[in-house]
Amino acid sequence: MKKIVSFVLSLAFAGSTFAQMSGYSSSSYSDGTALGANETSNADGIALGNAVKLRGYIDTVLSHVDTDGTANNPTNTDVSADMDFLIDLSPVTAEVHLNVSQSGGDLLEQAFGRYSFYQDFHLTFGRQETVLGYEGDEATDLYAVTRAFSNGAFDHPGRSYVDGVRINYNNGMFGLVFGVHDHYGIKGGAGDQLDDGMAIDLAASIMFFPGLEAQIGFVNENGDNDDDSQLVNAWIEWNPGDLTLAAEFDSISHHSGADLFDLMLLANYRFSDFFSATIRYAFMDDDSDESNRITLAALLTITDNFGVNFEYSHKAEDNDDENEFYVQGLITY
């Protein structure tokens, strides 16, 4: 009862040419790709003076996971609060993202600065979110309560936070980034992470026309003893009005010799301003094990700043099956 009560939160050139041919306006990112864009200056938020905005959310999730062959399947509640400060002293902008969670994790998610040489070209430096992966790092970026790929000893890296420098280009139609970081978070086998080396990432995205976007990226992570891991990620999204269709593919070659392949397919339809629904399929193969996960989610927008979401997921692995149930309350500000 207490848990329930607590719940009741040369590509750049080609892209420029394509944008000019299509007549795409580079001054607006609302219908364009976000990769490499300066999303600080025009972001929504609560004004804290002339140069600082505040935004964030409170996320409360009630979860129950029933695993075959396991007698103890508890119901858990996790509450997290996210607070982002957006600073605009153009041509210098900066962001500081803080998160406090009942389940733990880093307080400081991001803290980076940006220098804009001109509207389309920027240099970012500091602790930043990685750019590969269809799903973003915030609860507000998702079409379900959970992400497509579950964590494990050898898992999909998803979005994470790394220290480094990144060159960014975005003209609205085309985005390109190149970054050098302390690590990237590619894990495998015993869950090791190459924290002591260096990682580079390169990603490009294109908005073929408003509603159809694709992105591809590559990561090489170098650790101790010159051991390398590589990641290739690609996704495509089609958003014709109320329908969103997406597909994502990943291939990881780990320095231990193990390989990971995964695939995600997603469909979301907004029936009204109040209700939308998602169906999602995720497949993972890490050489030693395969998993298939099907997700159904119902998303209710109660007000502009409050939503209630429901999810059921079924995961089938070589050794066992899981039935997952989630209820989420999401407050944004």
Burial grade of 236 (CB within 10 A; 0-12, 13-18, 19 or more): middle
d(CA 30, CA 27): 9
**Amino acid code (one letter) for 219:** V
Q: Which of 12-21, 174-183, 308-317 comes out lowest in average pLDDT? A: 12-21
pLDDT of residue 213: 97
Does the bond joining 91 to the residue before it have cis omega, within 30 degrees of 0? yes
pLDDT of residue 159: 83
Q: Which among 279, 286, 276, 277 is positioned nearest to 264, based on CA atoms?
A: 279
Q: Are 143 and 280 in contact (CB under 8 A)?
A: yes
Token digits of residue 298 = 């119902």
pLDDT of residue 142: 95
List the CATH number of the domain containing 185.
Answer: 2.40.160.10
* Whether pLDDT at 227 is above 80: no
Please, which pLDDT band fits residue 154 given cuts at 50, 70 and 90?
very low
Q: Which of 68-82, 202-216, 270-284 comes out lowest in average pLDDT? A: 68-82
Q: Are 257 and 265 in contact (CB under 8 A)?
A: no
pLDDT of residue 245: 98
Phi, psi (deg, nearest 5) at residue 189: 60, -105
What percent of the chain clears pLDDT 90, i.e. is strictly above it?
Answer: 63
Please, which pLDDT band fits residue 209 given cuts at 50, 70 and 90?
very high
pLDDT of residue 150: 66
* Whether pLDDT at 255 is above 90: no
* Whether pLDDT at 279 is above 70: yes
Q: What is the mean pLDDT of residues 293-304?
A: 97
Instruction: Please state the domain count of the chain.
Output: 1
Q: Which of 19-33, 166-180, 263-277, 318-332 comes out lowest in average pLDDT? A: 19-33
Mean pLDDT of the chain: 84
Domain ranges, residue 247 = 2-332
Q: Are 39 and 84 in contact (CB under 8 A)?
A: no
Q: Are 155 and 289 in contact (CB under 8 A)?
A: no
* pLDDT tens readout for residues 90-109: 999 999 999 999 887 779 99
Q: Are 208 and 220 in contact (CB under 8 A)?
A: no
Q: What is the mean pLDDT of residues 176-194?
A: 71
Q: Which of 87-101, 113-127, 143-157, 209-223 comes out lowest in average pLDDT? A: 143-157
Q: What is the mean pLDDT of residues 271-288?
A: 92
Half-sphere exposure for 289 (CA within 13 Å, toward CB): 15
Token digits of residue 189 = 């086998």
* pLDDT tens readout for residues 15-72: 333 333 333 333 333 478 999 999 998 899 999 989 999 999 999 999 999 888 776 7
